[in-house]
Amino acid sequence: MRMKKTKFENIEIIIDYNVDRPPECKGSTELYSIFEDGTISYCICYECATLDKHIDREHVEKVVSILETILKKIKEKYGSL
């Protein structure tokens, strides 16, 4: 049986890559959902997803790694999120 994860927080990060974008692109909103068990999921904004542009997975992995490190430190200090 699959356990349902409880969401702890959503973090929205607005990034301006300072590059030429099509007019329908309003920038990049990256949403990171943090769950109470410390896992993080990532979703790119609708505009960028529909443009079928290359998504910089290396950037995403770095941000997720930083968030996981922060969460680990919080859990170590306080015992839970």
pLDDT of residue 17: 52
Percent of the chain beyond pLDDT 70? 27
- Going by pLDDT thresholds of 50, 70 and 90, the confidence category of residue 75 is confident
Closest CA to 32 of 69, 4, 74, 67: 67
Give the separation between CA 1 and CA 71, rounded to whole angstroms. 26
pLDDT of residue 79: 75
pLDDT of residue 51: 47
Closest CA to 30 of 22, 41, 38: 41
Q: What tens digit of pLDDT does each residue of 1-37 get?
A: 566 767 666 665 555 555 555 555 555 556 667 777 7
Query: Hey, where are the domains in the chain?
Result: 7-78
